[in-house]
């Protein structure tokens, strides 16, 4: 049996569910949930490096229910999330190009603050870490990052303006996409509005809200712009695709919180931050799971809340990054009788797009495969001997290891 793989250095496991925040942030008890740290995208191309299995389940486990009897609500909500009407796509106000200086940040924070909640991850009777969540339905559904609730014996949610936490039920977790769906026993809650995915624009002003470093008092508010769209990066749990990049400050504890536009609509869920090392610096490079991914994941998480795991998509390739400075993912191996083989994909093909979305490296193709399910039709644009080809593959269910 083959599997979709990429070449990676050994993965480092986090210390518990919440790794300590990267310098220069000091540790602060209780430890806030650290956003994922973007890995340096430089992987050995030689066969024999650690292989990472892909598909809908991917790294970190498949979608599934967790803490099903931990209190809170009674299954997923039947309410649809609130989604803004699409605008003209020019800016967040529809009145012309807006600068960050024009945004009424206080008004945005006042609008979104009531929909932003504190999430505590408890092991035994101790708080292991603190993160942020977003109310998406008035009857108690909340989204957050999967890594915020990872390893918890119990999850508690504290609403804006309240002093006492409420027990929450973790309905479902999708670790590869770093999203989790929670529910508390409550009604009449202020649900956030999710932005129309096509309205998000590079350069538009944004506001990030969350419980950075678990500091006393209310949520922290930071500002910035959308730096880029459709980013893909590799974290400790695998590849995250379709991300919104921002220069708004995102710190440990912001994980799972909203990134919103000037209208107070959620354009993403803050999830990752790039940090520097001895050879490379990184400043104000944060990432959020896009509204487009979030809306699709809400349906997926609701559907898997009963414990049924969707069949994982399988293409049947091993891939490498290009080493000539070009963009794309190089096909290193094709599994016999796999969807990739049936589609006519060959060793040496350079995949530059998946379903029309650019693939700049391994991560982009990984994310495209992982986001699929058995039966998903995936159109891959490849370069072969200087010729551009569109090849169509139908993913099948990946066999259990």
- Which of 266, 294, 310 is where one domain is finished? 310
Q: Which of 96-100, 231-235, 320-324 has the lowest mean pLDDT?
A: 96-100
pTM of the model: 0.73
Indicate whether 306 and 320 sit together in one domain: no
Share of residues in the chain with pLDDT > 90 (%) = 44
Strands 396-397 and 377-384: unpaired
The per-residue pLDDT of the chain, averaged, comes to: 77
Indicate whether 257 and 349 sit together in one domain: no
- Which of 310, 345, 375 is where one domain is finished? 310
| 322/319 Cα distance (integer angstroms) | 10
Q: Give the three-class secondary structure for 37.
A: strand
Indicate whether 143 and 67 sit together in one domain: yes
- The phi, psi pair for 160, rounded to 5°, reads -60, 130
- Identify the active-site residue in 255, 304, 318, 338: 255
- Which of 289, 310, 331 is where one domain is finished? 310
Indicate whether 135 and 242 sit together in one domain: yes
| 155/148 Cα distance (integer angstroms) | 9
Model confidence pLDDT, tens digit, residues 202-224: 999 999 999 877 767 678 899 99
Q: DSSP letter string over 333-355?
A: EE-TTSHHHHHT--TT-EEEEET
Indicate whether 16 and 95 sit together in one domain: no
Q: Which of 12-16, 123-127, 180-184, 216-220 has the highest mean pLDDT?
A: 180-184
As to burial, measured by CB atoms within 10 angstroms (0-12 exposed, 13-18 middle, 19+ buried), residue 22 is middle
* Active-site residue flag, 216: no
Domain, as residue range, for 145? 31-43+61-310
pLDDT at 321 > cutoff 90: no
* Active-site residue flag, 255: yes
Indicate whether 210 and 319 sit together in one domain: no
In our burial notation (b when 16+ CB lie closer than 10 A, e otherwise), range 133-159 reads bbbbbebbbbbbbbbbbbebebbbbbb
In the numeric block, the tokens 């505590």 are attached to 120
- Identify the active-site residue in 92, 115, 139, 147: 147
pLDDT at 66 > cutoff 60: no
CATH code assigned at 365: 2.30.42.10
306 preceded by cis ω (within 30°)?
no
Model confidence pLDDT, tens digit, residues 225-270: 999 998 887 766 567 888 999 999 888 888 999 999 999 999 999 9
* pLDDT confidence of residue 308: 55
Closest listed residue to residue 301, CA positions, set 65, 125, 139: 65
Contacts of 170 (CB under 8 A, 6+ apart): 65, 66, 67, 68, 70, 149, 152, 155, 180, 181, 182
Q: Answer yes or no: are the C-beta atoms of 70 and 154 closer than 8 Å.
A: yes
What is the 8-class DSSP label of residue 237? T
Strands 82-83 and 193-194: parallel
Residue 303 region, left (φ>0) first, then alpha (ψ -120 to 50), else beta?
alpha
* Active-site residue flag, 36: no
Question: How many angstroms from the chain centroid is the CA of residue 315?
Answer: 22
Indicate whether 150 and 77 sit together in one domain: yes
H or E element, residue 164: none
- Identify the active-site residue in 178, 321, 349, 371: 178
| 264/113 Cα distance (integer angstroms) | 10
Contacts of 173 (CB under 8 A, 6+ apart): 61, 63, 64, 65, 66, 146, 149, 150, 179, 180, 181, 301
Indicate whether 327 and 283 sit together in one domain: no
Q: Which of 31-35, 50-54, 177-181 has the highest mean pLDDT?
A: 177-181
Closest listed residue to residue 269, CA positions, set 81, 395, 40, 70: 81
What would the two tokens of residue 6 be?
């990429």
Indicate whether 12 and 125 sit together in one domain: no
pLDDT band of residue 181 (cuts 50, 70, 90) is very high
pLDDT at 182 > cutoff 80: yes
Report in angstroms the alpha-carbon separations of 194 from 197, 326, 340, 352: 8, 35, 36, 30
Q: Answer yes or no: are the C-beta atoms of 78 and 137 closer than 8 Å.
A: no
Structural domain count, the chain: 2
Q: Answer yes or no: are the C-beta atoms of 176 and 46 closer than 8 Å.
A: no
């Amino acid at each position: 049996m083959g599997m979709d793989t990429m070449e990676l250095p050994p993965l480092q496991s986090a210390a518990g569910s919440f790794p300590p925040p990267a310098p220069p942030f000091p540790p602060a008890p209780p430890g806030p949930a650290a956003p994922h740290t973007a890995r340096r995208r430089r992987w050995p191309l030689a066969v024999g490096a650690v292989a990472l299995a892909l598909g809908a389940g991917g790294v970190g486990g498949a979608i599934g229910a967790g803490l099903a009897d931990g209190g809170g609500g009674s299954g997923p909500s039947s309410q649809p999330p609130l989604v803004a009407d699409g605008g003209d796509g020019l800016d967040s106000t529809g009145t012309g190009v807006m600068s960050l200086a024009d945004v009424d940040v206080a008004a945005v924070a006042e609008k979104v603050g009531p929909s932003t909640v504190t999430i505590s991850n408890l092991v035994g009777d101790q708080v292991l870490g603190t993160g942020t969540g977003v109310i998406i339905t008035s009857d108690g559904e909340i989204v957050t990052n999967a890594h915020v609730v990872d390893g918890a014996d119990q999850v508690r949610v504290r609403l804006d303006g309240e002093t006492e936490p409420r027990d929450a039920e973790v309905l479902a977790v999708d670790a590869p996409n770093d999203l989790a769906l929670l529910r508390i026993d409550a009604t009449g809650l202020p649900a956030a509005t999710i932005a129309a995915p096509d309205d998000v624009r590079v350069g538009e002003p944004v506001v990030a809200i969350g419980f950075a470093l678990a500091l006393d008092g209310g949520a922290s508010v930071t500002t910035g712009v959308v730096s880029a769209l459709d980013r893909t990066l590799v974290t400790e749990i695998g590849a995250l695709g379709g991300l919104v990049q921002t220069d708004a400050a995102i710190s440990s504890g912001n994980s799972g919180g909203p990134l919103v536009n000037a209208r107070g609509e959620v354009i993403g869920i803050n999830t990752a931050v790039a940090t520097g090392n001895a050879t490379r610096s990184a400043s104000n490079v944060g990432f959020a799971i896009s509204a487009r991914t979030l809306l699709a994941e809400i349906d997926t998480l609701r559907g898997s809340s009963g414990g049924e795991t969707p069949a994982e998509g399988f293409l049947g390739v091993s891939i490498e990054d290009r080493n000539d400075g070009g963009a794309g993912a190089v096909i290193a191996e094709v599994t016999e009788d796999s969807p990739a083989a049936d589609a006519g994909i060959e060793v040496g093909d350079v995949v530059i797009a998946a379903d029309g979305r650019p693939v700049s490296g391994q991560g982009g193709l990984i994310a495209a495969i992982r986001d699929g399910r058995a039966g998903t039709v995936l159109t891959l644009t490849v370069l072969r001997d200087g010729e551009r080809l569109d090849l169509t593959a139908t993913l099948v269910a990946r066999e259990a290891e």
